Amino acid sequence: MQNAYLLTGSNLGNRVAYLRQAIQLIQQFCGNVMSVSGLYQTAAWGLADQPDFYNQVIELETALEPATLMQSLLAIETQLGRIRTIKMGPRTIDIDILLFGSQVINTNLLTVPHPFLPVRRFALMPLAEIAPAVVHPVLQKTVLQMLADCPDQLNVHKITPATNNETLVANS
């Protein structure tokens, strides 16, 4: 079993419902959801002219190999109505693998650690909430150190608290 950290985001439709459904499907098909960060509201990064995103980070314990996990996450995105038309455009759901244990992966399908993690405040803030001491396997910095060094000045606003596995199971 490996721990993976996933970033989920939504900026179309009922964003909270899409994020909740993503957690349920990840739990069903990918492994044991150990904890979930609070919900963060963020202006769009990259392509700014679109609705704000809700983002959160999921800590997942999984027996899946990284490529298989990525394929499962892409299938979940499709199931939740994700249509890829504009790069960085609006979406019902987006699920990225930020970290997968201490593995470094660079394939056509997957790059882990996520290449933009150190420069995206909207990913680092929720990750720091549930995994502040986790070390980036390439940069050898903790999540808190990366957040302190992050050049991104995008406004990221926390709107709900984190939940742990016991709370998630009780609310299922």
Q: Which of these is catalytic: 96, 120, 121, 152?
A: 96
Q: Which of these is catalytic: 52, 84, 91, 121?
A: 91
Would residue 52 show up in a list of annotated catalytic residues for this protein?
Answer: no
Would residue 120 show up in a list of annotated catalytic residues for this protein?
Answer: no
Picking from 119, 143, 18, 7, the residue whose alpha carbon sits closest to that of residue 70 is 7
Q: Which of these is catalytic: 15, 49, 82, 120?
A: 82
Q: How many Å apart are CA 141 and CA 90, to the nearest integer? A: 31
Would residue 82 show up in a list of annotated catalytic residues for this protein?
Answer: yes
Element (H, E) at 5: strand 2-10
Q: Which of these is catalytic: 94, 120, 149, 152?
A: 94
Listed in sequence order, the residues at least 6 apart from 134 whose beta carbon sits closer than 8 Å to its beta carbon are 5, 99, 127, 142, 143
Would residue 49 show up in a list of annotated catalytic residues for this protein?
Answer: no
Element (H, E) at 110: none
> Which residues participate in catalysis according to the annotation?
82, 91, 94, 96
